Amino acid sequence: MEHALPHGIVEGLFLTVTTLKDPGHAPNGHHTLELFTFVPYEPFEDWAGHAAARPAGYHDLKERLGDAMIAAAERMIPGLGKNLTFRAVGTPLTNDFYCETHRGASYGTAKIPALLGPFSFPIRSSVPGLYSVGASTLSHGVAGAATSGLFAARDILGLRRIEDLLAPSDGSLQVVLASDLAPASGARRPAHAAPPEDDADDALAS
């Protein structure tokens, strides 16, 4: 079944309400939701490479999948479909077009032993000031990408701990001026910052 699309019923999905995480992005009186499920690449393969002129069959399939996703989400959010004001459906080809992925993959490089832990792509590159972040570095998925970004930000800002990057629980934010950032090579660090105490914390980021 790994090469077949769901037939009528989507049995599992990931749902996030992004405007609950950041209410500042909410349009007036609305919320933004994202729904994800896994589908194989093969049913879309014949349409690859024709982004500008894909036939009606492709768009019909997208909408059928979108309907199935909404129906699955309505098990938890009754009436979701009739309250939508805008909907956009993506496929593995959408990932390819916008993210230059391999066959629509959403989790970066294969997580085999040769690409994990100390063997993963480093965040701090050999080019001063150039950092690599995302699902192809520390780990896959949203958590892996976010964590790699925290490691890079900590290094750039010259902070001691990842925790120093996290916002207070009251929702307030600290604005850091670009002129206060520590240049990546040779540079002074902000007066309040200190380098990591040892390299253990940087094992996956160097």
**What is the model's pLDDT at position 189?**
45
pLDDT higher than 70, residue 136:
yes
- Share the mean pLDDT of the chain: 80
Q: Could you tell me which residue, 202 or 125, shows the higher pLDDT?
A: 125
What would the 3-class secondary structure string for the chain be? Answer: CCCCCCCCCCCCCEEEEHHHHCHHHCCCCCCCEEEECCCCCHHHHHHCCCHHHCCHHHHHHHHHHHHHHHHHHCCCCCCCHHHCCCCCCCCHHHHHHHHCCCCCCCCCCCCCHHHCHHHCCCCECCCCCCECCCCCCCCCHHHHHHHHHHHHHHHHHCCCCHHHHCCCCCCCCCCCCHHHCCCCCCCCCCCCCCCCCCCHHHCCCC
pLDDT higher than 50, residue 7:
yes
How confident is the model over 181-199, as pLDDT tens digits?
545 444 444 444 444 443 3
pTM of the predicted model, to two decimals?
Answer: 0.65
Q: Could you tell me which residue, 141 or 30, shows the higher pLDDT?
A: 30
Domain ranges for the chain: 14-99, 113-202
**What is the model's pLDDT at position 203?**
35
